[in-house]
């Protein structure tokens, strides 16, 4: 593996790289991705912002599925890939982390300053008063409203929810905001919703200050992550991709390693520490 990693090690040895991570980094923690080997995008269409805000039935369906999947999602722990990223951040080889993931696993691994591009499922926001609260708090309230609802054999999906039949979700009781009675939404960017402009600008600034951009576990299918790779390429920054399967930016990358993230990043960190 050392020969395969030589190019990645050279990129990281420039120090100050920005990492852009995607769902593929978290599959080794038991969270499926959308399009890779464990991808389950095909099992259902993700909830859109327009559907969620425009339909009480859609919100009931979303929260029923999310409430069912939440325990498994919340139990997920950082894997070797997250830990290696944090080791490389401490050594200065990685200067910043931007993640497309909503699982909080970079934070759990110690990378507290990781920019969560699409937000975090462990937080809930009221669309009326804008109060932010913890998902754990909401989970307790939903449990009280829906005793015995959870189905332990339900299949976890990439966004932390589970596939349930319409018959099961129809009677689910949704909790309103505890402060104002408004509509609660997970503090994540849904499909059809824009990433906050200030967050995007902050990420551009991180890329501008970086020595290189390293993509970990993302097919870069959606523009929210792809734009940073395009930005780096325009600035003539080296782009390295570690992802199992092709990506939308392979033509912009100096190298693409089709390897599992945990072992690859662990070995890269070991090689750099030995220098």
Q: Annotated binding residues for Zn(2+), as ranges?
A: 126, 129, 177, 180
| Catalytic residue (choose from 67, 82, 118, 256) | 118
Cα torsion 28, 106, 60, 51: sign: negative
Residue among 246, 216, 256, 249 at smallest CA distance from 232: 249
Binding-site sequence positions: 100-103, 126, 129, 177, 180, 217-219, 243-245, 261
Cβ neighbours of residue 12 closer than 8 Å, sequence gap 6 or more: 88, 93, 94, 212, 214, 240, 268, 272
Supply angle C-alpha 65, 70, 74, rounded to 5.
Answer: 160
- The single residue listed with the structure tokens 């591009």 is 117
Residue 75 in tokens: 């139990």
Helix (H, G, I), strand (E, B) or coil at 20: strand
Which residues are annotated as part of the binding site for NAD(+)?
100-103, 217-219, 243-245, 261
Active site residue 118: yes
DSSP state letter for 164: -
Q: Which residues are catalytic?
A: 118
């Amino acid at each position: 593996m050392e020969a395969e990693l030589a190019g990645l090690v050279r990129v990281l040895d420039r120090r100050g790289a920005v990492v852009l991570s995607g769902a593929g980094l978290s599959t080794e923690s038991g969270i499926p991705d959308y399009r890779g080997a464990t991808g389950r995008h095909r099992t259902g269409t993700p909830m859109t912002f327009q559907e969620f805000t425009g339909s009480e039935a859609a919100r009931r369906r979303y929260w029923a599925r999310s409430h069912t999947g939440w325990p498994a999602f919340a139990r997920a722990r950082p894997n070797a890939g997250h830990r290696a990223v944090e080791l490389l951040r401490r050594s200065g080889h990685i200067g910043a982390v931007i993640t497309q993931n909503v699982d909080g696993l970079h934070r759990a691994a110690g990378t507290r300053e990781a920019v969560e591009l699409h937000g975090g499922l462990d937080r809930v926001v009221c669309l009326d008063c804008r109060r932010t609260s913890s998902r754990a708090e909401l989970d307790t309230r939903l449990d009280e409203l829906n005793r015995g609802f959870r189905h332990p054999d339900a299949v976890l999906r990439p966004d932390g929810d589970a596939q349930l039949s319409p018959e099961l979700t129809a009677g689910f009781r949704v909790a309103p905001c505890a402060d104002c009675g408004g509509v609660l939404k997970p503090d994540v960017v849904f499909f059809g919703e824009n990433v906050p402009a200030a967050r995007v600008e902050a990420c551009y600034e991180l890329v501008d200050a970086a020595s290189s951009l390293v993509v970990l576990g993302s097919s870069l299918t959606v523009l929210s992550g792809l734009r940073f790779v395009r930005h780096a390429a325009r600035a003539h920054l080296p782009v390295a991709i570690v992802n199992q399967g092709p990506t939308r930016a392979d033509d912009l990358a100096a190298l693409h390693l089709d390897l599992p993230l945990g072992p690859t990043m662990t070995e890269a960190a070991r090689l750099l520490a030995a220098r």
